[in-house]
Amino acid sequence: MFKRKRSLDDFAEEIKAHLELEADELKSEGATEEEARRKARVEFGNAQAARERFYLSSRVEWLDNLVRDVRFAFRQLIKNPGFSFAAIAVLALGIGACVAIFAFVDAALIKPLPYAEPQRLVHVTERDVAAPKVNISYLDYLDWKRLNTTLSSLDVFTGWDALLSTPTGAEPVPAERVSAGFFRTLGVAPALGRDFWPGEDSLSAPNVVVITFGFWQRQFGGRDDVIGQTVKLSGVPHIVIGVLPKDFEFALGDSPEIWAAMKPDNDCEKHRDCHDLYAVGRLKDGVSVQTALANMQSIARQLENQYPDTNRDRGASVMLLSNMIVGEIRPILLLLLSGAGLLLLIACTNVSSLLLVRSESRKREMAVRGALGASRGRIARQFVTEGMVLVGGGVAAGLAFAYGAMQILSRLISKQMIARMPFLHGLGLNPHVLLFVGILALVTATVFSITPILHLLSSDIHDGLTEGGRTSAGTLWRRIGGRLVVIELATTMVLLTGAGLLSKSLYRLLHVDVGFQVDHLATLHIRLPGTGFPGDPEQVAFTRRLLNRVESLPGVRAAGVTSVSPVTCACNSDWVRIAGRPYTGNHITVNERDVSEGFFSTLRTKLLSGRYFSDAEDASKPKVVVINHTFARKYFPGEDPVGKRIGDPTLSPSSMKQIVGVVEDFKDGALDDVQEPTAYYPFNQNASSGYVLIVRTSQDEHTVLQTLTAAIHQLNLDVGIEQGTTMSDQINDSQTAYFHRSTAYLVGGFAGLALVLSAVGLYGVIAYSVSQRTREIGVRMALGAQRSSVHRMVLREAAWLAAAGIAIGAVCSLTFGRLLQGLLFGVRAWDVSTLAAVATVLGVSAFFASYIPAHRAASVNPMEALRSE
């Protein structure tokens, strides 16, 4: 159908032959040569028309027109390189930003988790009065697993700081302990070897592990005989039984490389009140999350009645696993997507005004086309084609831009963050993203086709042929263009306000008073090997030696250890009861830290009353505790807590501790956490095999960090050391700071671009308006108007637009800001100073954008303006 069977030349040849044959015949009938030829041609009629009809009959007309329209559109774009470049660049910016952010949204929120039927996977935890999601204890887990009727399986997982024995010494390796059914619950089968068998997580079973693809490649060179081999973890041999698929991920673990069948062999798992596990379950077919939650809550109540000492106020929490994984990043991504969307809106508005200006200047061309017989439909089709070509260019450039932006953005994400968001590995221009691009292209193409068509319809095309078209259409365009600019300015205002609020929030966050001196602090995670340190005394003794060694290093002022680094999370809690008070069954939940004597002096915290504990206070001495100010204020209002005694909820004699001091509050939890009551126990009375070493240095923290590892390994080669960092880096790179910063930077970037685009847009409108009014201005000046008053007149027009944009923008910002509230720290959504600052910035930019055309208008030479017709 699209291929012409017979060429036009062949057809023309046939007509020529006809004319010759006819002439021959006429000659044979007695006509002269000349007469015969003429008569034959006359007889035939319009040969050209016949050829054209033949041409059309054998082609698809619209396709033909399309090809011509596209060619013409390209010629138009090439003829106006300035316009084309501006329009395509602006479009590419808007589309690229949208697509790049959408790719993140797709990877995080749209793509399902890489497990079998992920919509049936739930994250199951306990809950208590203080927090909605807390760990489960092993014994509770066994009961939940046994008693529930809503889950087809329930399995637990917990982090394990394992030490891998290598020929060159111990190497910390991130690992996870899981119950035997864990991978079956997820619906993941190993790529090599087998999964855990039921019962392999019992105490009597041999030690078995499943390793990740990466670990297999790195440690075993990807060899098939890995199955059955032994790895020594924290001094204990484990048999490798399987290798996980390459694309396996589990966002809730700390990117573990080894998965061990969990044996309830540590002390914690023997006690119902020691919570160290998280659970993942699979809903039975047709069971909703709510049903499962109700089921778990009733089991929790049952356990509460059965074990009031340990399970008081312990509820249950059940939520979709996907919500657990992306819950935190969802609002951020949606915010960024709306930001990018607004930017695209501005870009579209901008290009629309450019198109309007151009269609205004092409009025004469359209009028000529109309006069030559082009129907309105045909002209409209030409606009549609031009819109499509423009959008095509914008989309192509935008895709390239988006691809680059995605590469850069994903590279900017720190390794630590990527570990928490493994789903971002799926980032790319996949079918979802391309579909999104298609929709964007369709929408923008529609907008850009309709804009000039509306303009065309709004004016009589024949007007264009008459005097330069400075009639009503010019005014009309100024009105439409003006409105577009108001939209642009308002949108920019919204983006700027968002960026302003987020920046302010980031500033507030990073300037939170953490309560200690942050600079010149280095931190290091220490893991003692399983062998050689059978109990607390050995751990305490080694830690003393370690601290002595570290403190003797050049450049080190002081050193201390703590179970959890400050400014991380309020994640180790303890239940306490104050001796000598009536017990109502309400225990007190406090943060719990095991710290060495030097910890406080290393951080340089402030002692409010009493004393810090001493190094000599170890297991042989009575137990002591230092509490923070919030603890004292909340539970000892109006009295001195020093000398008071606290213990566990049953006040068992072995748990009793005397409060010896109160320390001023400092940040234990994340930057945006509220201050919680905290109890600091002496490490020497509460030792463990893993802790954080904190060193106060007199010189650059980074240089000291480098010497620390070697010094500690001199003491014992099998000690695992990792995550060496400085306190300021740790705070700056913390997840809270990270999310706040990336959001603020990205929205700030969008807002900056928006500001530039809307300033250009305003400039365009005012400049156009001035060019349309040149003669009017000339007349005014000829009649005696001062240059300054012309100047003012133009600026007034711009000021009205800017004021309208800012006013509408301010109202929208308040609505938009409320959506933002959840992401803000220390600043309210209706922060007046931010709004005022943003309005000022926008107003000043608007002034500069309109100053140039105003100046040009004021310098119009009235004679020339009047003569220019």
Partner 1 sequence: MTTQKSADDRIALLQGTLDLLILKTLVLGPCHGQGVARSIQSQSEEVFFVDHGSLYLALQRLENKKWISAKWGLSKNNRKARFYSLTAKGREQLVEKTGEWERLTRAMGLILSGNAESSGKEA
Contact set with partner 1 (CB under 8 A): 5-6, 11, 13-15, 17-18, 20-22, 24-25, 42-47, 49-50, 53-54, 57-58
Q: Are 174 and 254 in contact (CB under 8 A)?
A: yes
In whole angstroms, the minimum distance from the beta carbon of 8 to partner 1 comes to 11
**CB closer to partner 1 out of 50 and 205:** 50
For tokens 């010896």, name the residue.
660
Q: Are 681 and 663 in contact (CB under 8 A)?
A: no
**CB closer to partner 1 out of 49 and 674:** 49
Kind and range of the H or E run holding 858 = helix 832-858
Q: How far apart are CA 69 and CA 80, in angstroms?
A: 16
**CB closer to partner 1 out of 22 and 574:** 22
Distances (CA, A) of 683 to 159, 529, 649, 798: 22, 18, 22, 69
**CB closer to partner 1 out of 47 and 109:** 47
**CB closer to partner 1 out of 8 and 189:** 8
In whole angstroms, the minimum distance from the beta carbon of 387 to partner 1 comes to 36
Q: How far apart are CA 438 and CA 429, in angstroms?
A: 12
Kind and range of the H or E run holding 121 = strand 121-127
In whole angstroms, the minimum distance from the beta carbon of 375 to partner 1 comes to 24
CA dihedral over 389, 757, 492, 383, signed as positive or negative = negative
**CB closer to partner 1 out of 40 and 173:** 40
Distances (CA, A) of 50 to 9, 10, 64: 13, 13, 18
Q: What are phi and psi of 340, to 5 degrees?
A: -65, -35
Q: How far apart are CA 778 and CA 863, in angstroms?
A: 7
**CB closer to partner 1 out of 43 and 64:** 43
Closest CA to 180 of 156, 215, 203, 150: 156
In whole angstroms, the minimum distance from the beta carbon of 58 to partner 1 comes to 8
Q: What are phi and psi of 19, to 5 degrees?
A: -60, -40
Helix (H, G, I), strand (E, B) or coil at 162: strand
Q: Are 799 and 855 in contact (CB under 8 A)?
A: no
In whole angstroms, the minimum distance from the beta carbon of 446 to partner 1 comes to 38
**CB closer to partner 1 out of 47 and 287:** 47
In whole angstroms, the minimum distance from the beta carbon of 51 to partner 1 comes to 8
Q: Which two tokens stand for residue 296?
A: 């778990």
**CB closer to partner 1 out of 41 and 432:** 41
In whole angstroms, the minimum distance from the beta carbon of 374 to partner 1 comes to 24
Q: What distance lies between CA 245 and its chain's CA centroid?
A: 27
Strand partners, 124: 279, 318
Q: How far apart are CA 192 and CA 180, in angstroms?
A: 17
Q: Name the residue type at position 243.
A: V
For tokens 């693809």, name the residue.
213
In whole angstroms, the minimum distance from the beta carbon of 50 to partner 1 comes to 3
Q: Give the pairing type, strands 258-261 and 645-647.
A: unpaired
Q: How far apart are CA 158 and CA 262, in angstroms?
A: 9
**CB closer to partner 1 out of 56 and 844:** 56
In whole angstroms, the minimum distance from the beta carbon of 392 to partner 1 comes to 35
Q: How far apart are CA 255 and CA 159, in angstroms?
A: 10
In whole angstroms, the minimum distance from the beta carbon of 60 to partner 1 comes to 14
**CB closer to partner 1 out of 15 and 454:** 15
**CB closer to partner 1 out of 42 and 372:** 42
Q: How far apart are CA 530 and CA 260, in angstroms?
A: 16
In whole angstroms, the minimum distance from the beta carbon of 64 to partner 1 comes to 18
Strand partners, 172: 163
In whole angstroms, the minimum distance from the beta carbon of 408 to partner 1 comes to 58
Q: How far apart are CA 205 and CA 199, in angstroms?
A: 7
**CB closer to partner 1 out of 20 and 309:** 20
Kind and range of the H or E run holding 726 = strand 720-726
In whole angstroms, the minimum distance from the beta carbon of 49 to partner 1 comes to 6
**CB closer to partner 1 out of 10 and 328:** 10
Helix (H, G, I), strand (E, B) or coil at 243: strand
Q: Name the residue type at position 30.
A: G
Q: How far apart are CA 205 and CA 247, in angstroms?
A: 29
**CB closer to partner 1 out of 14 and 265:** 14
In whole angstroms, the minimum distance from the beta carbon of 18 to partner 1 comes to 4
Q: How far apart are CA 783 and CA 778, in angstroms?
A: 8
In whole angstroms, the minimum distance from the beta carbon of 379 to partner 1 comes to 29
Q: How far apart are CA 857 and CA 788, in angstroms?
A: 10
Q: Reduce the secondary structure of 473-542 to three states and give it as a string.
A: HHHHHHHHHHHHHHHHHHHHHHHHHHHHHHHHHHHHHHCCCCCCCCCCEEEEEEECCCCCCCCHHHHHHH
Q: Are 190 and 315 in contact (CB under 8 A)?
A: no
In whole angstroms, the minimum distance from the beta carbon of 55 to partner 1 comes to 11
**CB closer to partner 1 out of 26 and 509:** 26
